Each structure stands twice: as C-alpha cells, then as structure tokens.
Structure 1
Amino acid sequence: MAGDKAVSVANKPQMRGLLNAAIKRNLILSLTFAGISGFAFQQLVGAARKKRYAEFYRTYDAEKEFEEMKKKGLFQSC
C-alpha cells in the first residue's frame, strides 16, 4: 500500500491569459445572444408589423381620407 497515492495533486490555477480567456468567452456569448435576440425580434415583431403595414396600405384610400379631413375643416387653403 505504500505505492498507492491516497492524495492526488490539485491542478494549479490558470494565471496567465485569464483576462483574455474571459473576454473571449464573454464576447462569444454576447454575440451569440445578440444574434439570437435579433432574429427572434425580427420573426416575432418585424414580420407582424410588416404584415399590418401591408394590410393598411392595401385598403388605404388617400382621396377618401383627404375628403374626410376637408369636411372636418382641417385645411385652411381648401
């Protein structure tokens, strides 16, 4: 039993390049999360907004809107 090691040697802590490693990890994580959130925003908010604008302009009648504003007296020159 004298040849068996009962206690193992612990690894030394990394001292050199620790800041660079942390910056690299944080940069990769932040770019990944920014990309995921940007894509999610585009799909969840942008697509719905684009669809609502398309529907509005498909049914929009500028002449009718102008006549309604003219009847209400919103224009001084008309």
Structure 2
Amino acid sequence: MADKAVTTLPKPQMRGYLNAAIKRNIIGALTLAAVSGFLFKTLVGNERKRKYAEFYRTYDAEKEFEEMRAKGLFQSC
C-alpha cells in the first residue's frame, strides 16, 4: 500500500538544455539592446540635435567676438 502512495517525478530534460538557454538569452539580450538603443536615440539624440540646430540658428559669431573683446580676453585686440 505504501508503494502506491509514492509518486514518481519524470526525469528532467537535460539534453540540449544549455543550447536552448543560450538561444533564449541571446534573443532576450538582442531585443533589450535594440529597444534601449531606439529609446536612447529618440529621447536623447533627437533632443540633442534639436538643441544644436537651435543654437547654430541663433548664433552670431561677430557679436560673441565683440563681447569677448570688450571683456579684455584677447591680448592682440
């Protein structure tokens, strides 16, 4: 009667487990890298491009030079 109460567990699947785990991890890593790269480009890169474009659209080199010259930053001018 004690023999029938004991349940036997199936043997674990060990053959090919490492290859399956590596494949799963590589797919997860590539997906995470692609998503994070896209988010970085959209959130940081595009904002940085917009700020550089705004700076160079309104930048006046002559005015900047005159302000530095008025402050006495140049020895030759």
TM bin, normalised by shorter chain, reads: 0.7 to 0.9
AA matched with 2:52: Y
AA matched with 2:35: I
AA matched with 1:70: R
- Structure 1 runs, 4 residues or longer, greater than 2 Å off: 9-12
Where do 5+ consecutive residues of structure 2 fail to align? 1-7
Partner of 2:36 in structure 1? Answer: 37
Give how far 1:70 is off: 0.9
1:22 aligns with 2:21: yes
Q: TM-score, normalised by structure 1?
A: 0.79
Q: 3-state DSSP class of the match of 1:40?
A: helix
Where do 5+ consecutive residues of structure 1 fail to align? 1-8
Q: Give, in whole Å, the separation in 2 of the partners of 1:17 and 1:75.
A: 72
Partner of 2:54 in structure 1? Answer: 55
Query: Number of matched residues?
Result: 71
Q: Give, in whole Å, the separation in 2 of the partners of 1:17 and 1:70.
A: 73
Give the alignment's Cα RMSD to 1 decimal: 1.7
Q: Give, in whole Å, the separation in 1 of the partners of 2:10 and 2:67.
A: 80
More helix by share: 2
